[in-house]
Amino acid sequence: MRRFKLQVQVSVDGYMAGPNGEMDWMTFPWTDDIGAHIDALTEPVDHIVLGRRLAEGFIPTWAAGPEGETEESIAWMNDTPKTVISDSLAESPWENVAVAGGDLTEAVNRLKEQPGGDIITYGGATLVRNLIARDLLDELHLFVNPVALGTGMPVFPDTGSHHRLNLVAARPFECGITALHYEPKRS
């Protein structure tokens, strides 16, 4: 079965965006060491899952070829098939993108059962919290930025229970970000 990974930028206090979705706190530019780490993380990935709100900005931004990104990264982001999780979209307005609605667990399990490489999600915040709450992720790659926001959109949902994780690796980078690789502790 395919592995489903989360790659997300977070603050040291666990937020993936400010209270109004602000992302101006992220550390840039990245150094070559973090770029190589992300290349290794995404090398086995052949499918991207996004929430609808994130997709509305993410897909057009990569299609326009964002400044500062390599041609290889832009091509990978644009050419990799995507699924947008949405109950409000009936069909995809984008090329190479399918829409999945209804039960999130069923939609993710259908993707994981298909042949292929790993699957990755970058968010958005609601999708990430729902994936964690339903224990649908196999790997969590938290890129911790050296900033505390104090408030914002948390990575982890408040489900009334603990989210126990096993630390697989921790790696600091020259730009100040530390990558934490976790796997859910399943009984």
- Count, in order, helices (H) and strands (E) of the chain: 5, 10
Check if the beta carbon of residue 180 is closer than 8 Å to that of residue 144. yes
Higher pLDDT, 187 or 148: 148
Check if the beta carbon of residue 123 is closer than 8 Å to that of residue 85. no
The mean pLDDT value for 150-155 works out to: 97
State the pLDDT at residue 49.
98
Q: Is 79 exposed, middle or buried (0-12, 13-18, 19+ CB in 10 A)?
A: exposed
The mean pLDDT value for 3-9 works out to: 98
State the pLDDT at residue 68.
87
Check if the beta carbon of residue 17 is closer than 8 Å to that of residue 152. yes
| Confidence band of 19 (pLDDT split at 50, 70, 90) | very high
Q: Could you tell me which CATH class the domain 4-184 is placed in?
A: alpha beta
* Closest by CA position to 8, among listed 175, 113, 156: 156
The mean pLDDT value for 168-176 works out to: 98
Q: Residue 132: pLDDT above 80?
A: yes
State the pLDDT at residue 90.
87
Q: Residue 187: pLDDT above 80?
A: no
Q: Residue 141: pLDDT above 80?
A: yes
State the pLDDT at residue 21.
92
The mean pLDDT value for 17-26 works out to: 95
State the pLDDT at residue 56.
95
| Confidence band of 87 (pLDDT split at 50, 70, 90) | very high
Domain ranges for the chain: 4-184
CA 86 – CA 51 distance, rounded (Å): 7
Q: Residue 75: pLDDT above 80?
A: yes
